């Protein structure tokens, strides 16, 4: 019997929450198994050991977000890593209350911010305590970028250039900008090139496979990814993510695997970069 290959890969961008019920209808396949079991099955098939589970801003409370994240972490045997989220639009007191509650959470790996979906800029001064918390705890700050699934979102808040100021002010914080900044890929690449503490993920670049021109869409996404890499000039700053269940894990991995790069560089995007960024190999 062949030995099971080790699951060294990491998906830095997946969603699973009872507070996003219409996610199933937005997913890559309406029959997707939107459960811990369904997600782990897809991850296993692509040799992915860990996935960063991004909390939704639509959760009813900070408390409930943490409770659900802890539950999914436990149910997955520690493979679905826990994150938190906050919006500065609730005011400085709400931000302080969220951070006070996060202090007690042990297993966090990232804070996710949703500018664009919510009306704030990443350089909103009310977020400074969040960046300070991330620094203190060594958490990655993940920031939604570009296109919003919700047509009511406001794209002006979600441009890569709006991250530059905080990337400079918080040099010791690692920022992971989502979706290659789509559609502002050139702008995103400049941010990553200029700021050594800024990274990007490959998630959410594809719609469901039934849309017209899907093969052309995959080809375009691969070209944009290759162009971004050429502009950034450092393969270590690009990490694989899917945005499951909007994309299937297999499709998202295939996008990276189809890049015209040496095998070890493709594998770096799929595994090593995220393991370093999220310090997954660090002793507990």
| Residue with Cβ nearer Zn ion (54 or 108) | 54
Name the residue number minimizing CB distance to Zn ion. Answer: 243
Q: How far is the CB of 29 from Zn ion (least distance, A)?
A: 17
Q: How far is the CB of 259 from Zn ion (least distance, A)?
A: 21
Say how far apart CA 249 and CA 134 lie, in whole Å.
Answer: 28
Say how far apart CA 249 and CA 268 lie, in whole Å.
Answer: 17
Q: How far is the CB of 81 from Zn ion (least distance, A)?
A: 14
| Residue with Cβ nearer Zn ion (11 or 243) | 243
Q: Which residues bind Zn ion (CB under 5 A)?
A: 243
Say how far apart CA 7 and CA 270 lie, in whole Å.
Answer: 11
| Residue with Cβ nearer Zn ion (178 or 198) | 178
Q: How far is the CB of 243 from Zn ion (least distance, A)?
A: 4
| Residue with Cβ nearer Zn ion (126 or 202) | 202
Q: How far is the CB of 64 from Zn ion (least distance, A)?
A: 19
Quick check: 92 and 134 in contact, CB under 8 A?
A: no
| Residue with Cβ nearer Zn ion (126 or 269) | 269
Per-residue buried b or exposed e for 21-44, using 16+ beta carbons within 10 Å of the residue's own CB = eebeeebbeeebebebeebbebbe
Output the CA torsion 84→89→93→95 (10° steps): 20
């Amino acid at each position: 019997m062949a030995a099971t290959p080790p699951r060294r890969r990491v998906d830095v961008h997946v969603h699973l929450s009872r507070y996003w019920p219409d996610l199933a209808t937005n997913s890559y396949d309406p029959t997707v198994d939107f459960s811990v079991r369904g997600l782990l099955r897809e991850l296993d098939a692509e040799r992915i050991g860990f996935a960063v589970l991004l909390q939704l801003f639509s959760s009813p409370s900070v408390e409930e977000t943490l409770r659900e994240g802890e539950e999914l972490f436990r149910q997955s045997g520690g493979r679905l890593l826990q994150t938190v989220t906050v919006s500065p639009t609730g005011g400085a007191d709400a931000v302080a209350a969220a951070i006070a509650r996060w202090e007690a959470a042990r297993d966090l790996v990232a804070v996710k911010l949703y500018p664009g979906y919510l009306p704030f800029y990443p350089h909103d001064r009310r977020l400074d305590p969040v960046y300070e918390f991330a620094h203190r705890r060594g958490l990655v700050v993940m920031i939604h970028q570009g296109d919003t699934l919700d047509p009511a979102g406001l794209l002006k808040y979600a441009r890569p250039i709006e991250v530059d100021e905080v990337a400079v002010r918080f040099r010791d914080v690692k920022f992971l900008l989502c979706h290659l900044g789509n559609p502002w890929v050139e702008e995103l690449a400049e941010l990553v090139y200029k700021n050594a503490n800024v990274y990007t993920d490959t998630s959410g670049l594809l719609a469901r496979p039934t849309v017209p021109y899907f093969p052309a869409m995959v080809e375009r996404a691969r070209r944009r990814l290759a162009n971004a890499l050429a502009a950034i000039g450092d393969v270590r700053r690009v990490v694989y993510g899917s945005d499951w269940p909007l994309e299937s894990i297999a499709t998202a991995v295939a996008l990276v695997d189809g890049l015209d790069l040496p095998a070890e560089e493709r594998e770096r995007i799929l595994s090593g970069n995220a393991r370093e960024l999220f310090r997954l190999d660090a002793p507990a």
